[in-house]
Amino acid sequence: MPNHIHIIWQIQDKHQKASFQQSFLKYTAYQIKFTIITESIRERENYKVKASDSQYQFWERNGLSIDLWSRRILL
């Protein structure tokens, strides 16, 4: 992976954490893939993986989720 990006998000209403996170990662990965495949051959190579279930990887597998309940944890 070329860069690491940290995302802070908050669940609203009655959404479940696991389903929200899965939907978010799937949707954003699709959007990133569409953009780099149609616009940038060089950038595409940065995300190629040799995996049986995918050609590209945009998010860490089993990414870490932390509840940010204080400023200290956030920092």
Per-residue pLDDT tens digits for 7-56: 777 777 777 777 788 888 889 888 888 888 787 777 778 888 888 888 88
Q: Is 18 helix (H, G, I), strand (E, B) or coil?
A: helix
Q: How confident is the model at residue 63 (pLDDT cuts 50, 70, 90)?
A: low
pLDDT of residue 1: 44
**Burial environment of residue 61 by CB neighbours within 10 A (0 to 12, 13 to 18, 19 or more):** exposed
Total-model pTM:
0.61
pLDDT of residue 3: 63
17 close to 65: Cβ distance less than 8 angstroms: yes
The domain spans of the chain are: 18-63
